[in-house]
Structure 1
C-alpha cells in the first residue's frame, strides 16, 4: 500500500508540479533566436545557448531547488512563504535585519503571483500557436481557442489538485516521453550536439557575443520557469515524490529535447522560428498541437496550485485575511482551492492574452518575476541554513555567492525587458506586496488594540464574581466565539457592561485547526471551568482536522456528553459573534491610504456565520469599534 501511495504521489507530481518547466521547450529556443534579438542561428551560437540551458537547469533546478532548498519546509509546506515562516522562527538579535528579510520574502511571494499570471497565458498561447505551423489559415483561431482552454482550466480548479493531478499524470508521462524520443531522434542525426553539454561553450558564447549573449540570457531563463512553482507545490505531493519524478523522468526528457532542437537548428538555421514543432514530421504536427495544448494546461496548473499554497500560507502567517480555503483531499493537507485567487488570476490571464496577442510578445514580459524570486529564495534559504541549521559561516557564504552569481546574472539580463512588457509582473508584484504588508501591519495594530479592549478572560470572571449587587442572570444559554482563548470576547464584555446581564449558562468557544485530516473524538475537546464550577461560565477549545467542517453546534453537543457546568440548553442556544468596526484615525502607525486599503480588504473577509455553521436565526452579531 505504501508503494502504491508513493507511486500515486509521483504520478500526481508529474501531472501538476512539472507542467510549467515541462512546457518550456515550446518557446525557449524560439524566443532566444527571435529575429528582433539579432542573434544568428549559427553552430557556435546554438552550442553556446544549449550549453547555457543545460547548466541553468542543472544548477538552478537540480542542485539548488531539488537537492537543497526543498529541505527547507514549514511543516511540509514549501515555497517562499515557508522560508518566511522559518526566518520568523529565528532568534535574530537585530529586529531590523529580521524584518528586512521577511519583507524581502513577501516581495518574492508577490513576484510569484506575477509569474502565476503570465505562465498560463504564455504556455497555452504558445501551444495553440502550433496551428500556425500547420497552416497560416488557422491563425485567426489561436486567440479564441486559447481563451476557451483557459476558461475550462480555471473552472476545473474546484475539483482539486489531487483529482487534476491523477488525470494529468498519465498525459504528462506521455508528454515527457515524447519530448525525450523526439529530441533523441534529431540528436542521432547530429550527435556532435552533445558537445554543447560542456560548459566552455556557454562561457565562450557569453564572452564572444557581448550584448547579444546578454540579451539571450533573458530567453535562456525561460528554461527554468517553474522552479519556484515546483518548490511551492511541495505541500501538495511531498519532496520525495517530486525528487523521484524529476531525476527519473523530467530532467532527462528536457535535456534530450533541448539537444534535439539544437541539432535541428544546426542542420537548418531556418527552423529556429519554431524548432519544437518542426522536430516532428508533418503528419504528427496536429496531434502534437493537441498534446502541447493539454501539456500547457498542465503547466498552468503548476503555478495555479502553487498560488493556492502560497495564499494559504500567507493567511496562516497573517499576511492575508481569512479567505474561503477549501481542502480538496482527504489525505494531503497541502491540496487546497482558493476561489478568490483562482478567479483573480483568471481575469489577469485573459487580459494578458488579449493585450499581448502572441507568445513572443508575452516572452518579453516573462522572466523578471521568475529571476527575482530565484534570487530572493537563495538569500532566505542560506539565512535559514546559517541561523536555524547552524552551518559554518564560510560554507554559507560560499554557497550563497555561487547561486547568487547565477541568479543575479539572469535577473540583470531580464531588466532589458521592462519597457517591452516586463513592467506588468512588476506592477502586479508591487500591488500584491502593498496588500500583503498592509494587511499584516493593520492586523498587528488591530489585534493589539483588540486585546487591550478584551482584557484577560480569567480576570473578567473574577470581576463578575465580585460585582455587588451581582449581575442579573438571564435564562438560557449563550455561546460566544473568540479566537484568542486567553481574552474575553468583546460581545460578552459588552453584554455585561452595557446590558448588565449575563446568561445562566455561558460557553466561550475557541477553535484550532490541526495538520491532520481528522481529529479523534477523544482529543477533540478541552473543557476549562476557568477556576469555578458554580458560575455557569465554561471555556471550550475545539480541535478540528483540516478536512473537517468547523461545526460549532456539533462541537457543543459533544461537549455536553462530556459534561458542562449547569444545565445548558444546546437545542436553542444563542450564538454571539463579535464584529469589529475599524475606525480610521490620524493616530500614527500607518499611512492614510494604507488604512483605507486595510478597511477595503477587511470588508471582504469570509463570513464567520458560514464558516462555523451557525444558525442564522439564533446568531447575534455585536459590534465594537477599534481605532486604526
Structure 2
C-alpha cells in the first residue's frame, strides 16, 4: 500500500487541515442530515417483520448487531477510511471517482465500462434523492400519531405542505437557512444520544449486541429471514455516500472527526436505546424512536425531527443540483439553467428543471405510498446500487493510481463488494413492493444520458465531416478579398482545429469578416475547478485572428464574457462593448440511414429541442448574439 494516499486531499488543500468548531457544525448540518435521521425508521422497519410475538432477545440483539456493524464496516471503514482518500483536488462523489478511474484506464473498453458504472451510480443517486425527502418528512410527522391518534388524518396533508414549502424556497438558496443547519443537527444528535443512553441505563445488557456473535445467533435462528432483514438494515446507512460527495465543501478531516467522535456514538446510543425499549416493552415496536421520549417531550421532539428531516432533504436536493451540473459539464445531459444563489460560494446553485422534477417525484411518492413504512420498501435499492458502483470504481483507483497490489485490493475491496452485493440483492426482494421505483427512475435516466451522449458523438462526427480545417482557411485568408469591418467577433466552436460553421455561414451570407476575430473553445477539465491563471489559453493564428481556449472544471458554470475580459490581462485587446457573438443553432434531422435506434433518436431530438440555449448557458448577453442555423443529419 502507498502511504501517500493518506495525504492526497490535504496536500492539495492545506487550509482544510484546520478543524474548527464552525467547520464541524457545518459538517453536521450538510453532510450528516440523511444518515442522522435514519433512527426514525430503520430499527422499527427491521423488527416489524417479526411482530410483537417475535421480539426475543436473539431477534432484537441480532438486528442491533447487524445495524451497528453496518455502520462500522460500510461507513467507518469503507467510506471514512478508504473511499474518502480517493479525491480529485479535494473533491469527492461518484462522478469524481469516475474521472479518477478513467485516468488510469489503458483500454478504451475499460474506460467505457467505467463511464457506464458511474452513470448507473449517478442515476441511482437521483432515485435516492426522490425517496429521501418523502420518507424522512413522513417519518418525522408520523410522530404526531404517538402523541395522539387524532393526529393521524393530518399526517399526509402536513407532509405535503412541508415538502411543498421546502421545494418552493429552493430558489432563495441555502445561505440564509444554512446558518442554523449545524446547530439544529448538533441538538438533534445530542437529543437522540441522550434519549438512547437513558434507556440503556435501565437495560445495559442490550450492549451485548456490540458482539458480532449475535449476528451469527440471529442467522442460526432465522435462516433465510436474515438475508431479508439485511434489506432493511441498509436503512441505517443511507446517506453514507454524502460523506464522500460533500468532501469538497469541508475537507476530509472535519468529516472524519465529526463521524468518529460525535455522530457515530450518538447514532449507536439511540439504536441501542430503542432496542432496550423494545426488549422491555414489545408494544413499543410500532414507533420506538418517539416512545423513547417522555410524553411531555414528544411534541417538541416531533418539531425537532421535522426540522432535521428538512435539513436531510435539503442536503439531498442540493446534492442533486450538483450532480446534475456535473453531468451537464461532462456531456451526459443537455444544458440546463444553473442559477447561483450566493455571490461568494460557487457550490450554492439552483437548477429549476431538477427542482421541478424532484418536487413532482417526491409528491407522487408521498401520495402513492402514504406512510414511511410503505416507502421503506422502495428505499435501499438505490442506496446499495450506488454503494456497489463506488466500490468497483474505488478498487480500480487504488489498484492503478495508488499502486496497491492485487491481493491488497482484493482483500479490502473484495470484502466491501461482497457486503454491498449482499445488501443490493437483498433489497431486490423489495422490487414488487415498491423497490421498482428507484430502478425505474435509474433506467429512464440512463436511457436519457446514454442517448444524449451517443447522439452528441454522432453529431460531432458529422460536423467534422462537413467542416473546413482551420489551417486551410488561414492559408487562403491573406490572398482572399474578404472585407474586414470594424469591431470584434467571437465564434464559439467545439473543436479549435476546424472553422466554426457560424463563421463560414457569416462569410457566405454577409461577405465580411470583423477586424478582430476570436475562435473560442470551451473545455471541461477532469478537475472540479480550474484556477484563474489556467482559465485562458490564447494563440494568435493570423493577424487579428486568435484562438482562445477557455477551461472550466466539471463543478463550475461557464461565463464566457467574464472569462474573455481577462484577455486584457494577457495583453490582448478586447472591448466588451464592441463585441458580437456568433453562434451556430444546430437543427437535428434524421439521416436517410439513422445510426441511432428509433426510440433513441426520438429521445435525442426531444432533448435537443428542450436544451437551454447556448446564450443562456454560457451567460452571453442576448442583445450581442447573432445565431446562424445549421442542419445536421444523424
Per the TM superposition, whether the score is higher than 0.5 is yes
SS at match of 2:429: helix
Question: Compared with structure 1, are the counterparts of its residues 381 and 2 closer, same or farther at alpha carbon in structure 2 (3 Å cutoff)?
Answer: closer
Which runs of structure 2 are paired with 1:159-558 in the superposition (5 Å)? 159-161=172-174, 163-329=176-342, 333-467=346-480, 470-474=481-485, 476-511=487-522, 526-530=537-541, 532-533=542-543, 536-541=544-549, 550=559, 552=561
Q: Return the alpha-carbon distance in structure 2 between the equivalents of residues 39 and 106 of structure 1.
A: 44
Q: Return the alpha-carbon distance in structure 2 between the equivalents of residues 36 and 354 of structure 1.
A: 27
Q: Return the alpha-carbon distance in structure 1 between the equivalents of residues 552 and 242 of structure 2.
A: 29
Asked whether the 8 Å contact 1:517–1:548 carries over to 2, the reply is no
RMSD: 2.8
SS at match of 1:365: coil
Match of 2:26 in 1: 12
Match of 2:9 in 1: none
58, 62, 70: which one aligns with 2:84: 70
CA deviation vs aligned residue, 1:473-498 (integer Å, no higher than 9, x gap): 44554332334434322110222245
Residues 1:59 and 2:73 are matched in the alignment? yes
Gaps of 5+ in 1: none
Asked whether the 8 Å contact 2:120–2:442 carries over to 1, the reply is yes
Match of 1:576 in 2: 582
Tell me by how many angstroms 1:191 deviates: 0.4
Match of 1:114 in 2: 127
Tell me by how many angstroms 1:617 deviates: 3.8
CA deviation vs aligned residue, 1:215-259 (integer Å, no higher than 9, x gap): 222211110111123322223332222112111211110000001
Normalization by structure 2: what TM-score? 0.90
Gaps of 5+ in 2: 1-14
Q: Return the alpha-carbon distance in structure 2 between the equivalents of residues 576 and 354 of structure 1.
A: 48
Q: Return the alpha-carbon distance in structure 1 between the equivalents of residues 534 and 244 of structure 2.
A: 33
SS at match of 1:574: strand
SS at match of 1:121: helix
Give the stretch that moved more between structures: 157-166 or 136-145: 157-166
Question: Compared with structure 1, are the counterparts of its residues 299 and 213 closer, same or farther at alpha carbon in structure 2 (3 Å cutoff)?
Answer: same
Normalization by structure 1: what TM-score? 0.91
Which runs of structure 2 are paired with 1:611-626 in the superposition (5 Å)? 611-626=617-632
594, 599, 615: which one aligns with 1:593: 599
Q: Return the alpha-carbon distance in structure 1 between the equivalents of residues 472 and 211 of structure 2.
A: 72
SS at match of 2:586: strand
Asked whether the 8 Å contact 2:559–2:620 carries over to 1, the reply is no
Q: Return the alpha-carbon distance in structure 1 between the equivalents of residues 52 and 34 of structure 2.
A: 27
CA deviation vs aligned residue, 1:34-91 (integer Å, no higher than 9, x gap): 2577981111110000000000110000110111111122333322111211222123
Tell me by how many angstroms 1:510 deviates: 3.8
Match of 1:602 in 2: 608
Match of 1:81 in 2: 95
- Between the two proteins, the alignment pairs up a number of residues equal to 618
Q: Return the alpha-carbon distance in structure 1 between the equivalents of residues 197 and 404 of structure 2.
A: 42
SS at match of 2:466: helix
Q: Return the alpha-carbon distance in structure 2 between the equivalents of residues 346 and 331 of structure 1.
A: 27
Tell me by how many angstroms 1:100 deviates: 2.3
Asked whether the 8 Å contact 1:90–1:387 carries over to 2, the reply is yes
Tell me by how many angstroms 1:455 deviates: 3.7
Q: Return the alpha-carbon distance in structure 1 between the equivalents of residues 75 and 572 of structure 2.
A: 56
Question: Compared with structure 1, are the counterparts of its residues 253 and 570 closer, same or farther at alpha carbon in structure 2 (3 Å cutoff)?
Answer: closer
